[in-house]
Structure 1
């Protein structure tokens, strides 16, 4: 084990709250999918999720995991499963307060867009889009996978989303080279607990052949 001292932790013996807390704190920084969805009753929903990454590029698939609450689907997951579509916004650091506030728990018949009085526009997908973010990805549900515990109770919903269309702010995008300009793009990242982060120092390395 070398010279480093490790604390031996049997993860299977921890309760779900401490498992969540530790994983959240250690697997960082995480990008945030700021999801805009709509219910079958046309209630618009907005919520941030940081169990989020790219699952595939040649087949452009995003992966989002949404933990259930008391065994029940969260509104975002339910809406995506039922309507098959979502907008994934990529928030910047200056969106931090709105991202954080949009994580509040509301009744299903209320919309975060209305409660928070956010600037929006009607996206061609039929969903509400935020007018304050540099990247908006239009997606459709590719696959829904239920993650079950040893008692076969569903604990989380794994959503694979196929990217259909992307809108990118011209201030951060080089259309000729298809590059994102990190001098102008300042994405928000999630840490554990109440903590967020920005990119900080950017280090360049050419990949070996």
Structure 2
């Protein structure tokens, strides 16, 4: 028996649970940004994905806080730069620590054992321990929803990529996903590893 739901009949919280419980698992973008004074912000976002390969673009969606921009959005809109790190099992515990609410003048990385390194083409620092990092320039900003419960969708064009040579075959342009060992988010504070391949199921 099927259940048909009119989205207008769901409160925002219940709509959120519907979406994250069905559009799952979701990759996690660990984003570093900084304000014009150089204060660094770091935060994870699971409303994140690839937009297109040519030109290479990534997007993150950042919910507003009672109508106010989150630090990540404010920084990116101000400086037009950010770095997306792919979350793997080696760094996920530290990444989760940065998801708490801190003041704009607090560097969330100070709450972790993660360290920064200079990026190649953007001024925003990168997280050294991440196996993959994308240096991005903001190219599109789309405001969605109403003033109180709105979301800022930020699209960045990839300007430089760092990838650990242990997980990337340059000759074949092949990423070894098992060695990357990315962590994805499902519902609430539940995270999962990449599961078993399903080729055998498709052959049946």
Please give the per-residue CA displacement for 1:70-114, whole angstroms capped at 9, x wherever unaligned.
011100011111100001000102222112111010011111012
| Alpha-carbon distance in 2 for matches of 1:182, 1:154 | 36
Contact 2:81 2:123 in 1 (8 A): no
Contact 1:84 1:141 in 2 (8 A): yes
| Alpha-carbon distance in 2 for matches of 1:202, 1:77 | 36
Partner of 2:19: 23
Q: What's the Cα RMSD here? A: 1.6
Partner of 1:75: 71
TM-score scaled to structure 2, two decimals?
A: 0.92
TM-score scaled to structure 1, two decimals?
A: 0.90
1:133 aligns with 2:167: no
The number of aligned residues is 199
The answer for unaligned runs of 5 or more in structure 2 is: none
Q: What displacement does 1:115 show?
A: 2.6
Match of 1:201 among 179, 184, 196: 196
Runs of 4+ residues deviating >3 angstroms: none
SS class of match (2:3):
coil
Contact 1:139 1:163 in 2 (8 A): yes
Please give the per-residue CA displacement for 1:32-62, whole angstroms capped at 9, x wherever unaligned.
1100000112110000001111111111111
Q: What displacement does 1:139 show?
A: 0.4
1:148 aligns with 2:145: yes
Q: What displacement does 1:183 show?
A: 3.1
Q: What displacement does 1:121 show?
A: 1.6
The answer for unaligned runs of 5 or more in structure 1 is: none
Contact 1:146 1:154 in 2 (8 A): no
Please give the per-residue CA displacement for 1:161-187, whole angstroms capped at 9, x wherever unaligned.
000110000010000010001231211
